[in-house]
């Protein structure tokens, strides 16, 4: 008896068929705005529309119950919250006069931007 040994090639740790069909690819592309496999069946019958609606409600409930997990898995969505918040804070500080608008003002008082000489942030 003769035995042949072949060394396995390292992969990415996921099993995937070489020639995947459309349904498998649709379930793999599942995300926040694409609900996966049910997207292929909606529109034809009302039962699939109800399933899609309930799937959307389920995903929304998951997102609201543990947002840290959602942002961990989808880090680019944090920009949708952090960039507008940072711009709003900067706008409020600019209109209030608390933010330095010149380079010299930032060097003179880099923390609060007030040039009154006081060390407390708000008086």
How far apart are the C-alpha atoms of 81 and 77, rounded to whole Å?
7
Closest C-alpha among 17, 12, 14, 39 to residue 27: 39
- pTM for this entry: 0.46
How far apart are the C-alpha atoms of 112 and 90, rounded to whole Å?
12
Residues 61, 31, 85: CA angle, nearest 5 degrees? 70
User: Domain spans of the chain?
Assistant: 27-73, 75-116
Residue 47: predicted pLDDT: 83
Q: What is the pLDDT of residues 56-97, one digit of tens each?
A: 888 889 889 999 988 898 888 899 989 999 999 999 988 988
How far apart are the C-alpha atoms of 41 and 64, rounded to whole Å?
27
CB atoms within 10 A of CB 91: 11
Residue 88: predicted pLDDT: 96
């Amino acid at each position: 008896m003769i035995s042949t040994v072949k060394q396995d090639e390292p992969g990415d740790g996921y099993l995937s068929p070489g020639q995947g069909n459309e349904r498998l690819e649709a379930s793999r592309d599942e995300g926040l705005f694409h609900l996966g496999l049910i997207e292929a069946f909606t529109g034809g019958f009302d039962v699939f529309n109800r399933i899609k609606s309930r799937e959307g409600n389920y995903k929304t409930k998951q997102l609201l119950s543990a947002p840290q997990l959602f942002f961990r898995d989808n880090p680019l969505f944090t920009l949708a919250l952090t960039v507008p918040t940072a711009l709003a804070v900067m706008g409020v500080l600019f209109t209030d006069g608390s933010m330095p608008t010149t380079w010299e003002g930032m060097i003179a008082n880099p923390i609060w931007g007030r040039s009154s000489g006081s060390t407390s942030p708000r008086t």
